[in-house]
Structures are given as structure tokens and as C-alpha cells.
Amino acid sequence: MTAKLRVAVFPVAGLGTRFLPATKAMPKEMLTVVDRPIIQYAVDEAKEAGIEHFVFVTGRNKAVIEDHFDRQFELEHTLEQRGKTEALELLQTDLPEPGKTSFTRQQEPLGLGHAVWCARQLVGNEPFALLLPDMIFKAQPGVLSQMVKAYEQHGGNVVAVEEVDPAEVSSYGIVGRGDGPDEAFEITEMVEKPEPKDAPSNLIISGRYILQPEIFKLIENQPRGAGGEIQITDAMQALMGQQRFTGVKYEGRVFDCGSKIGFLSANAAFALDRPDLSAEFLQELHQIIRAAKR
């Protein structure tokens, strides 16, 4: 019987250097896409998929993330006194239940694999989802929900993938495709940044994973990889020799908010999706585009 997926890990210890000076004093995960922090989109996706416990792997200067997922009594009182019930209800809806969030520190920037390993005591001996908050998805249902469906069918480990131009595969982690449909095929291999001629496919790993707890021991014992960091891909490659990996070619679109273009595109896409903003925002966009063409 497949163990229920209850826990999600969010690595949020990165420095966000590509967004300096904005991230000098504010975590990149708290930059807003329209009016919600980047991290909130990943948490919402996890909630939709049935996640019950949210584990954040933080670093220095990240305390504001912990504050965001806590109650602010003065703010709530002020909103209540002023009759701003809609804003108050929104804050309460976004708040995880008491005891459902945990925070741990990654004291050194030793890579994604090391960040995941730092969560081992909080995850325990059960499967967990790993969500990279920089990657925001417009998908219905959410990408993690699509993955849970495959996990409940096959168990093991699940990785979200998408297609890219074959000429671009050398910038990504690539999976080999085995038997099965797009929504649940067997992964036969993983290759980190191969040359196009050596790539097993044009399917790239897209920032969402469901992993079994055995990966923690593999991370603990593996040497540093590319860039002198402990890479999660190296541990997954080792785990492939022991357990099934399923690929899910998700339905939806991803925005890489770790890049400026991805961040700006996400703001435009999500604003245009809002009934209260779309018409006026589209009009403003047309004016900006016309002015840029002059």
C-alpha cells in the first residue's frame, strides 16, 4: 500500500543575488507576484494536493518568511475594527493551521541536496514532496495534485517534467522516457546538462518532486558534485537503482521567478487572470507596448 503523502519541503535559503538590491534585506521568496508572495503560490499548490505539514529550510535574514505564516494580531484587529472583512478572511485563509509549519536552518549554501538533507529530522521516515518556490505554475489542477495522482497509482518517486527545444537540453537536468502515458511514465535515466547529441530526451525536470525517505541516507553519504555542492540529482540517480521513478508531463505553464524575465512574465500572466485587474491592466499593457514601439 502506498504511504500517504503528508509532508512538503520548501528550500528557501537562497540569497537571491539576481534580484539585488531588492533582496538585500528581503528574501526573494517574499517578492510579490501581483499581491501574493512567491512562496505563497507554492504553499497554496501543496495545500490543494492535500499536504498537511509544511517544512521550510531557511537561512539567515529569512525570518520574515516565518512571520508571514504566523498570525499578526495587531493587523487583524485593525482590519476587524475598520470592517475590512474580505482582507481579514484572506489572511486567515492563507494561514496554515497551528502546528502545521516547521522551520530549520541550512547554515551553509551547499546546494539543493544539502537543503533537503537539513529537513530529514522534520520529515522522518515517510515520503515527502519537494517544491522549489522559484517555480510558479499556472495549472488546474495544480502540478503537485497531478503528481499525487501518479504517486497513488505507482508509488515510489515522482518527478514533474516538461518539454524544451532539443537545442536547449544542455541547460537542464534531463530524464529518459520509458513506458507509460504522459501523465505517468517510467523514468529510465537522469542526465545533468547533457549535450544535445547525448540527451535521452528533451524532457526537463521542473522543480516539483515526490521522494521517498531513503534519499536522505544517499545524500548524507554522497560526495559534492557540480559547483562543489551536494546535488539532489546525484542522489536521485543513486535511488533509481532501488526504486521506481515516475515522470509526469504536467498540464500547465511554469514561470521561473528566479529570473527577472520569468518574474515579470508571472506578474503579467497572473494579473491578466484576475477579474478585478485584467481589463484595466491589459489596457495599460497596450499603452506601454505602443510607447515602446515608437
Model confidence at 227: pLDDT above 70: no
Taking the C-alpha atoms of residue 148 and residue 210, their distance in angstroms, rounded to an integer, is: 8
Per the document, the length of the chain is: 294
- 143: closest CA among 161, 128, 126? 161
Model confidence at 79: pLDDT above 90: no
Q: What is the mean pLDDT of residues 1-30?
A: 89
Model confidence at 125: pLDDT above 90: yes
Per the CB < 8 A criterion, the answer to whether 27 and 16 are in contact is: yes
Note the pLDDT of residue 226. Answer: 61
Q: Which pLDDT band, with edges at 50, 70 and 90, does 157 fall under?
A: very high
- Most confident stretch, 1-10, 103-112, 136-145: 136-145
Note the pLDDT of residue 84. Answer: 85
Q: What is the mean pLDDT of residues 181-203?
A: 91
**Dihedral of CA 72/33/137/163: which sign?**
negative
Report, in angstroms and rounded to the nearest whole number, the Rg of the chain calculated over CA atoms: 20
Model confidence at 294: pLDDT above 80: no
CA 14 to chain CA centroid, Å, is 13
Interval 252-284: pLDDT, tens:
999 999 999 999 999 999 999 999 999 999 999
Taking the C-alpha atoms of residue 152 and residue 291, their distance in angstroms, rounded to an integer, is: 51
Mean pLDDT, the chain, whole residue set = 91
Taking the C-alpha atoms of residue 118 and residue 103, their distance in angstroms, rounded to an integer, is: 10
Domains parsed from the chain with CATH numbers: 7-154+206-242+251-258 (3.90.550.10), 260-294 (no CATH)
H-only helix segments in the chain: 38-48, 63-68, 73-81, 85-94, 112-117, 120-123, 143-154, 215-221, 232-239, 260-272, 278-293
